[in-house]
Amino acid sequence: MERTAVCLSVGIVMGLMPLLWGTSLLCFMLAWIFGLNHILIQALNYLLYPVQLSLLWPFFYFGGNLFGAPASDIKAVLNDMNIPMWELFPTIWMANLHALLLWCILASVCIPILYALFTFALKRRRKTPE
């Protein structure tokens, strides 16, 4: 029951990570290292993909503002089509790093809260006669 609550909590938080290319691999590695249910954590990861896409810009925006790189700078750089692609990488890299740092802060708060909620719900469900 506790492992299921951990799997649900980690799967939801990992599914919302502002990183498009690696969440499936990270979920697989976490499930393998901690002995979690691979199918459940990957299913949550894939089910939350539309939410992850919709939260990309807020993570970039608030992460940039939190760490002193306003999102308007990113928008200005991306709107200028005369910039060569290799000069865009540092800006995009830093914006993604700021978004991931904000996600880490939120994840460290959300995982314990989700774990407590899922543990309570699963224990309550187990006690309820069918």
Give how many domains the chain has, as a whole number: 1
- CB 41 within 8 Å of CB 7: yes
- CB 95 within 8 Å of CB 56: no
The answer to whether residue 42 scores a pLDDT higher than 70 is yes
Band (pLDDT 50/70/90 cuts) for residue 119 is very high
Report the percent of the chain where pLDDT is more than 90: 56
Q: Which two tokens stand for residue 7?
A: 């799997």
Band (pLDDT 50/70/90 cuts) for residue 118 is very high
Per DSSP, helices labelled H in 16-127 are: 23-34, 38-47, 49-66, 71-79, 85-127
Q: 45: which DSSP letter?
A: H
Count the Cβ atoms, other than its own, within 10 Å of residue 45: 23
Q: Which amino acid is at 81?
A: M
Higher pLDDT, 77 or 97: 97
Higher pLDDT, 53 or 75: 53
Among 50, 101, 92, smallest CA distance to 71 is for 92
Mean of per-residue pLDDT scores for the chain: 87
Torsion, CA 61, CA 41, CA 46, CA 78, rounded to 10: 20
Three-state secondary-structure class, residue 125: helix
Report the percent of the chain where pLDDT is more than 70: 88
Band (pLDDT 50/70/90 cuts) for residue 89 is confident
The answer to whether residue 72 scores a pLDDT higher than 60 is no
Domain ranges, residue 48: 2-127
The answer to whether residue 130 scores a pLDDT higher than 60 is no
Q: Which pLDDT score is estimated for 105? A: 96
Q: Distance between CA atoms of 88 and 78, rounded to whole angstroms?
A: 8
pLDDT digits (tens, 9 = 90+) for 23-36: 999 999 999 999 99
* Residue 36, phi then psi, degrees to nearest 5: -90, 170
